[in-house]
Amino acid sequence: MNIDMEQYDDCILVRNYNLFIDPDGLFYRINRINKSGIDHNVWALEYFKKINSIYESKHLSPAEVLIHKYGFLYYSHDMLVGKPIVKIANPIYYKKHVSDEELDSLFQVMLINNEDPFSVPMQMGYDNVYDYVALTDEKIYKKGL
């Protein structure tokens, strides 16, 4: 299994990929949209090894730890209908906020993938209980939550 741990700053190079976006707005390719392969949890475990961190959580998946504790943004797609799924850090857990750089990068990649960034709810939370926040909410883009 080939896991791409490279950072990308050009949205052209990550077109048609499911991604993580770090707080600085850099992209990490997980797998191609609508193709099987590694998932965000497998990639997150490899990332923890790369940064010499240990994944320990009874309640959060590896991807959720990367989102809520490290402030990464999750960008994926529903396999059945192909709609984007975006998950952002919920500040009640680790006081992390989605950054302007992450949102700028998200908007760039969604536009290049012919998606409307203003029609996708952002998900915060875990245990399949999410708060949905529209990207059109000014306080998200300007200040985080």
Query: Which tens digits make up the pLDDT trace of 66-108?
Result: 999 999 999 999 877 778 889 998 888 889 989 999 999 999 9
| Region 29-41 average pLDDT | 89
Is residue 1 a part of any domain in this protein? no
Q: How far is CA 92 from the centre of its chain?
A: 18
CB 127 within 8 A of CB 145: no
pLDDT at residue 127 tops 80: no
139 located within any domain? yes
Say if pTM beats, i.e. exceeds, 0.95: no
Residue 138 has pLDDT above 80, yes or no: no
Q: Considering the domain boundaries, does residue 4 fall inside one?
A: no
Q: What is the side-by-side strand order in the sheet with 84-87? A: 27-32, 17-21, 73-77, 84-87, 121-126, 129-134
- Residue 144 confidence (pLDDT): 36
Query: What is the band of 57 on the pLDDT scale with cuts at 50, 70, 90?
Result: confident
Q: Is residue 44 included in any domain, yes or no?
A: yes
- Domain-embedded: residue 67: yes
Residue 90 belongs to what domain range? 11-143
**Banded model confidence at residue 54, pLDDT cuts 50, 70, 90:** confident
Domain presence at residue 3: no
Is residue 97 in a domain?
A: yes
For the chain, what is the domain count?
A: 1
* CA-based R_g, the chain, Å: 14
93 inside domain: yes
